[in-house]
Each structure stands twice: as C-alpha cells, then as structure tokens.
Structure 1
C-alpha cells in the first residue's frame, strides 16, 4: 500500500539581542519609527524679482511608502515630505493660503536606480513676509523592476507660488544623493502554478488503466501523463489535450510494478512549474507464487518530520549611538529531518517580534535575513533556500522542500541576520523573539 502523507507542525523560538551603545543624548521619536528624518545641504535660487542672492541652507525631509515589501511588478506610492525647507518667502509680501504648488524628485538606489517624480497639492498655510515656508508633501509612484533592497533619498524640489506673479524657488541637493530616508525590500513575483490532477483510483493491477483528470492547465496545451517510480519517470506515458477551460480527462496504462505516483505536465519533460502531481498510485502485484517458491515481503515504516536547533540565543553585533546601521549575526543552525516518506514536502518559516529596549523599541520589520540551506547526500528531496529580505512580524520563508513522488532526507538551514538600528536609538540592550515553524 502507499505510504501515508503526514504533515506535522513544529515551532521553535530564538531570542535575538542587539546592542546600541556609546554616547549620550535622547531620542526625538520612538526607536524603530519609519521613515528616518534626514537633513542635507541645499542650494536654492530665489525668484529674480526678489533681488537676493542664492540661499545655501539645510533641508530636513522624510520619505514614506505605502508598501515596504513589494513584489517585482508592484507599484509603490512614495510621499516626499519637506519638514523644513532651506528657502523662505523671499519678499516682504505676505502670501495667502493655498498658493504654493511643490514638485520634486526622489532618488532610487540599491537594487533599482532612477528617480521618482513627485507633486504636491496646491495647499499651504499663510506665509508672512520673509517667513519660513511651511512643511509640504509631494507624492508619486514607481514600478518595482528588480528584487532586493531599494533605497529612497530626498532629491531636488521646487516651490511654485501663484500670487500676483507666477514665481519659482528651485532647490537642489548640494552633494547628491541626500541621505537615505526609507528602504523597501522587493521580492521576485513568481507565477503561481495552480495545475492539479486527481486519479480515478489509487491502485490497480499491472496493465490496468487509471483515469487522470486535470484542471488549470494551459487551454489547448498537449499534456503528458506519466508514471513515476520514486523520483524517476517510468516508461508508462500517454498524451491528452487540455480543453478551452484548461481541463482534461485521459487514461494512463500502468505496467511498471515499481510505480509510486502519476504526474501530468506540459512541455517535453517534467517541470514543477508546468506540471501537477505526483498523485499517489500503487501497483498491486498479484502474480501467483510458483510451485516450490516462497514470496518474501518486508515493510518500510514511515517516520516523522522534525527539527532541532543548535542553541536558542543569538547575540548580534553592537552599533554606535548616532550612527546606527546593521547589527549583524547568524541564526543558530537548524536541522530538519523528514523521515515520513510519501509525496509531502515541508516549509520552514519564521517571524519576529519588535525589539524592545530602554523605553524604546525597534520595529520587527527592521530585521532581515539571508538564508542558506544544504541537503545531506542521498536525500530524496532537495532543500530550497528562502528569499533574502525582511522577516518582520508577518513572517517569511527560511527554507522549504517541494512535494514529490517520494520525499524525505536531512537538511541543514542557516541564515545571516541583520537588524537595521536607527541612528539615535537610546543606548542599551534590545531583544526580540524569532519564532521558527516547520510544517
């Protein structure tokens, strides 16, 4: 009979600690708050009618996004807020409300280069003569084209006023690019394979036909039906054509007595991206025992899915107060043992809490990892490494093994860890809990 498919859920907890050390000072906003407010030198040119020279001052700004963890192809909305402009009202004339229209650029870096054009509404508080321009925000969008960390820095901006005269005050970043205010981590957008098959029976005698029904294949595609013996395709194959709805029903004659499953796929060879299955199938060998012979039978007992880890505490590297940055370390090695047999794969995921410290916290979204996974020689399954990027409170995949005709083996999982500590997080120790779950 076929080995049963069994999934079991395991959870493990790691305590991750980061240190922000040295120096004194206070934090103006909660640690881990995003985005970071940055300041940078700016060169502004007042309107010629003002009769005053260019202004070299400091702009304070921040950037926010509507999605910090997009997929490639997603559109991200960016908001560029100038908290304090380097320029002010260049005239003695008071400016009334709602006459300012700001425009600007946000500079992209890291995994994706370029700029985002942003525009603000025609909306502002009254500005007294020679008074400072009020804070204003501008928005725009960009499409994610590459996976990885994409940095966003404030760029040049222009303040247009429409009152009596149409005037512009352009301001450029003196030493571009300005400091990074926000980072988004993009992941690959992999199409989901929804192809599926069911069998009319789970077993049969050598030479019996089994009905294979499929759905969600490419309409009109030629689909190969094939037997599998463990991880190897057998010589038993048949071909059917998917209808306009991507469905089909066909028969596969199974002669190979070692068959453990049936698959269906598009193209010239089996591919997990364009296939379905394996669906478990057992050939019942009822060949009579010859005279003066004895039929010998043994049983392979299915085991369990389990995990263990080399410790439950990780000490991340210290960072300096006033500088912040990456507090790095390594995940305690996790060993996954899959002794179940059958077609079921597994997935190892993790999620982390906020890091709490001396009256402050660092958001869970600031922790990222770079997974690594190795497979012990001889294992039927192959370990797949999860994507590098943010872990966060919602979690991410550390490693996995796909479903297959016959799965199992031993796997070693590691990951480099990095916590992005804000520059002015109060000095002290910060701790969060990383929970790993195996299913």
Structure 2
C-alpha cells in the first residue's frame, strides 16, 4: 500500500511539469514589453508533454507578441528581438502548486519579407509560483539578428519549448501547427550608406560663351577635391574646374562655360561623375551670340524641368468580407497609382505607405495585420526603371511600395499596384472596420 501511495505522489509531482491546453482567459503582457507597432497574435499550437507525465499531445492556442529595440534599422545593424508568450497553450494540470523560478523558455522567431530565416531566442529561469490548476504565467525570450537586406522584414512567433527543473529536468516542446504564425511586428530596413545630401547652386542660370558662373556647394566631404563640370544632356562637356571643400564640406568656385550645348552644371568628388558623390545638374543655358547670317533666322527652344508627382485611380478600397468566428484574409487591390518624374537630373524617388489601425464597432484590427504585394511597371522610353517594394506587412511604421534609383539621368512614367490582405482575427466583433492608408512620394 505504501509503495502505491509513493508512486502516486511521484506521478503527481512529475505531471505538474507538463503543459495542458486551456481555452479562454486573458493575460496582460509584462509592462513595457510591447511597442506601439507590435500586435498580439494567436496561432494554433501542438505541444508534446514529457512522456513520463502520461499526458497525450495537446493542441491549443497560443497568444504572443514580438517587439524590437529598433524598428528602422540600417543594413548591418543588429536588432534585439523579444518574443513574449502572453498566454501559453497550457496550465498546471494538478492540484500541486509549482514553485517560482523553475521554467526556462527557448524558442524561435521567423523572419519574412526582405530577409528570411529564424532568430533563436531564450528567456531567463524565472517565473512566478503557479497554483494548482492555475494558468502558466506569461514569459519572454530575447535574441538578436543582423539586418542583411533593405526593405520590410516581418517577424512571426515560432516554435517554443518550456524546460522545467523541478524533481526532474523535463522539456515540453510546442510547435506552430500551421507555420508561419501571423506577423506580430515589422521592421523597415534601409541601406547602410547614408543618403546623398550634396547640393549646389549657381550665381546665374545663363551666360554667353566664355562667361564664368559661380558654383556654391554644401554637404560635400570636408577637404575633398571637387570637380565642377558642364553637362550637355546626360554627357559631360570639356568645361571643367577644380575646387576644394572646406572643413564643413562647403565650397565656392568659378566655372568658365564655353560649350554652346551646355544644359547644366554638376559638381562631384572623385575622378568621374556619380550620383552617390555628386550634386546637380543645376540648369544653365549658354546664350549663343553668334551673328546670324544675312537672310537667315536663328531658331531656339527650351526644355523646362518639371516636377515629381503622383495620382491615384480613386481613394476607396473595399476589401472582401470574412466570417465571424473564422477570420482570415480580407483581400482587395490598391487603387492604381501613377508616378510621373519629369524633373530631369540624377535623383531617384521612393513611394512609401503606412496605415492606421482599422477601427470598428467598439473594437479595432491592428495596422500590422495589413500586408501588400507590390507591383510596378515602367512606361516604355522612361530613363529610369521602377522597382517594386518587398511583399509583407505595411503597419503604422510604414513600408516601401515602389522606388526608382539615382542615376546619371532619371525620369519617366510609372504605374504602381499592390494586392492587399488584412489578416482579421477570429471572433472579431461583426461590423464595418476602416483604416487609412497614406502614400508619400519623395
């Protein structure tokens, strides 16, 4: 009899380290754990208790969120990720209370969009006491990853494991049933190189052949040798001069312009023009004062620089309906955006978007649940080529829809579209929900 009682006590102690699904109940995330951009997400979880516990595999729901220390990193930066299991798919299955600090969690965060892979995360051996039949507490795990590509990088909760050190060392692995889990956070990475802010201005926009024009520059490399040169369309003329930038990267120098085909003036560092280390062209016209022969007429014309602009084919999008209790993808298409770049010169452009939370009847759907799949078409004959942004979450922090790079001569007409998908949580209260997607062209 005594042997039977002892075996039952050991079984009770060992079973107390296993995880059992519970449905319902809400646990708050630890104070300061969630950023304004991150969102709690729910996903189906398959947990396998330790065999010694004698409990079959468990299928339940985990609520979790992911936060980062830097939502706008540069390529090469290290981002710290925190994976918080707000509500585990588990509770204490016995009447035996569990002591504090016996749980050590580990897990993975899944990256998508511009960068793919898994981030390994781990938490400290720290937990509050768990009463008999009580819900397991929330826990957090941290890890880091290095940004390797520009664009929107999505972060989704992955598999996790709870290791318990009480009586025996035991593990309870929990896997995502239908990977990947919903996106909880998005970071938007930019190129590690800083943007080119070099600029020039001219003392005059025109002159006769042989006249000099004063070129003033700013934000060049301090102490750098800077070449001043005339431009004829997208080619360089023979008119050049050299100046040296001061300690603040500024300069002022004169360029004698002789070439009658000159359309602008540039300034650049290095042996040849590049959009990364140059500025301009600033418009300049050579006034040809060559006498017109008797019986002739001199004909002239001017090509004026235009502007960078965009237009939209409408300002409202109706996404498809989803069922209460099921949720899922509410889909639609962005109203077509037309970008016109008629500026001339070397500057490219970027079209970005960000969205607000979707508000409805006493509830909201987080902005981070809206994803897009961008597409961009370049009109034939355009000097630039349009590049579509990476598919992934839009969110309140924003993402790139399309862009065109800097170049020797840029411009053109471009058509931008995107498929839209809003991941609506199951059992979102019935009703109409609306958010505002704002597009910015720079």
Determine if the TM-score, normalized by the shorter chain, exceeds 0.5: yes
Q: Which residue pairs with 1:19 in the alignment?
A: none
Deviations 1:255-300 (A, max 9, x none): 2223222223345543322322223333333334455544344455
The structure 1 residue matched to 2:415, chosen from 409, 412, 417, is 412
Q: Which residue pairs with 2:123 in the alignment?
A: 119
Verify the 8 A CA contact 2:159 2:175 in the aligned structure 1.
Answer: no
Equivalences for 1:94-173 in 2 at 5 Å?
94-95=97-98, 98-110=100-112, 111-120=115-124, 122-124=126-128, 126-128=129-131, 130-132=132-134, 134-143=136-145, 144-146=147-149, 147=151, 148-160=153-165, 168-173=169-174
Verify the 8 A CA contact 1:27 1:424 in the aligned structure 2.
Answer: no
Q: Which residue pairs with 1:78 in the alignment?
A: 82
Secondary structure of 2:136's partner? coil
Secondary structure of 2:121's partner? strand
Moved more, 302-311 or 253-262: 302-311
Q: 1:113 Cα deviation (Å)?
A: 1.8
Moved more, 418-427 or 377-386: 377-386
Q: Quote the Cα distance in structure 2 between the aligned partners of 1:395 and 1:237.
A: 43
Equivalences for 1:31-430 in 2 at 5 Å?
34-45=39-50, 53=54, 56-57=57-58, 60-67=61-68, 69-71=71-73, 72=75, 73-81=77-85, 83-84=87-88, 86=90, 88=92, 92=96, 94-95=97-98, 98-110=100-112, 111-120=115-124, 122-124=126-128, 126-128=129-131, 130-132=132-134, 134-143=136-145, 144-146=147-149, 147=151, 148-160=153-165, 168-173=169-174, 180=181, 182-190=183-191, 191-199=193-201, 201-202=203-204, 203-218=206-221, 223-239=226-242, 250-267=253-270, 269-290=272-293, 293-298=296-301, 307-337=310-340, 348-379=351-382, 383=386, 385-393=388-396, 395-399=398-402, 409-427=412-430, 429-430=432-433
Structure 2 unaligned segments of length 5 or more: list them: 1-23, 28-36
Q: Quote the Cα distance in structure 2 between the aligned partners of 1:230 and 1:278.
A: 10
Q: 1:140 Cα deviation (Å)?
A: 0.7
Structure 1's 365 and 257: CA in aligned 2 closer, same or farther, altered over 3 A? farther
Q: 1:55 Cα deviation (Å)?
A: 6.6
Secondary structure of 1:365's partner? helix
Q: 1:430 Cα deviation (Å)?
A: 3.6
Secondary structure of 1:285's partner? coil
Q: Quote the Cα distance in structure 2 between the aligned partners of 1:416 and 1:122.
A: 44
Task: Name the structure with the higher strand share.
Answer: 1
Verify the 8 A CA contact 1:231 1:380 in the aligned structure 2.
Answer: no
- The higher relative CO (CA closer than 8 Å, separation ≥ 6) is in 1
Q: Which residue pairs with 1:4 in the alignment?
A: none
Q: 1:331 Cα deviation (Å)?
A: 1.9
- What is the total number of aligned residue pairs between the two structures? 400
Deviations 1:178-209 (A, max 9, x none): 76254433444212223413245234332334
Give TM-score, length-normalised by structure 1: 0.72
Structure 1 unaligned segments of length 5 or more: list them: 1-25
